[in-house]
Amino acid sequence: MLEPRAHRPALTDKQAVSAMRDAIRSGALDGDAAEAVLSAAGNGTRRRVSGPAGLTPREVEVLILISRGAQTGEVADQLGISRKTAGTHIERIYTKTGASSRSTATLFALRNGLLDPLDL
């Protein structure tokens, strides 16, 4: 990314790091591998993201609960958070995974190994 190409000019260090982190969040790059490249290039490391598509560990918990049929209030009760916070987690899950409903979010969870199909 730091070298010019026919289709784009060379990026600055900051632009390249930002592009890599965007690709990690979108799921286009493996987070561990990309962070290792950034670290080797001297750009430090960030907090490790544990889920696919950049989902945080809490978002993975929420995704599993909604995939098993929990409503927003039930998610809040089970995790000890407010209903509004649970709703925010669900919205972020939809954004990060490209889902538009609980069923498509469930499909994402199944495809990414977050759920055992026999547990549903």
Residues of the chain with CATH 1.10.10.10: 55-113
Per-residue confidence band for 41, with pLDDT thresholds at 50, 70 and 90: confident
How far is it, in rounded angstroms, from Cα 37 to Cα 13?
13
- CA nearest neighbour of 55 among 103, 98, 10: 98
Task: Select the highest-mean-pLDDT range: 4-18, 44-58, 60-74.
Answer: 60-74
What is the SS3 string spanning 49-64?
A: CCCHHHCCHHHHHHHH
Q: Which pLDDT value is given to residue 105?
A: 96
Q: What is the mean pLDDT of the chain?
A: 88
- pLDDT tens-digit readout, 59-86: 999 999 999 999 999 999 999 999 999 9
Fold for domain 55-113? Answer: Arc Repressor Mutant, subunit A (1.10.10)
